[in-house]
Amino acid sequence: MKLLVMSDSHRNVGHMLAAVEQERPDAIVHLGDHISDALELQRRFPDVSFYMVKGNCDPHADGKTEMLLILEGVRVFISHGHKYGVKSGLTAFAGAARGNEAALALFGHTHQALLRQEPGLWLMNPGQMQRGSGYAVVSFGVVNIEGGLFECGIGYLAN
């Protein structure tokens, strides 16, 4: 299973469409800001599985602020991250992921791509789906899951 992870799209649906075309995922995770973008993408790709959570820019949207997914035997904790103060550090977020016995924890909010391994846990922030206003690149996460194992990395939108 190939999982495409996106966050902080902020109405840049065109970048999201380009990432889907580039990566051809089996499933998509959108980590909030703006969940309406994920819903629009879901309408365009009805055959792709979607998982999404709300971010701090989605206060009136329906949906959850965090979820635990079990994908091909891998426990994946997802949250936008703002409620865990990820801009100040990852301790609280990693603790929540460990509390859910997750092997992989996905978050956004900082607009900065990050991939970090800690004992028993991988943390990933896919970055953001926008250019301009100080953001030079569009980045996303790619997770390949097979047989209860996974590999993850950061991808970039081709220019």
The range of the structural domain enclosing residue 93 comes to 2-156
Report pLDDT for 131: 75
Mean pLDDT of 22-30: 97
Report pLDDT for 133: 60
Is 70 exceeded by the pLDDT of residue 64?
Answer: yes
Report pLDDT for 149: 97
Burial of 83 by CB count in 10 Å (0-12 exposed, 13-18 middle, 19+ buried)?
middle
Report pLDDT for 137: 84
The DSSP 8-state label assigned to residue 110 in this structure reads S
What is the per-residue pLDDT across 104-123, written as a single tens digit (0 to 9) for each? 999 999 999 999 999 999 99
Coil, helix or strand for 159? coil
Closest CA to 37 of 23, 16, 20, 21: 16
Number of domains in the chain: 1
CA dihedral for 65, 71, 73, 74, sign (positive or negative): negative
User: CATH code at 118?
Assistant: 3.60.21.10
Is 90 exceeded by the pLDDT of residue 134?
Answer: no
Rounded to two decimals, the pTM is: 0.95
Tokens matching residue 154 = 């950061």
pLDDT tier at 159, thresholds 50, 70, 90: low
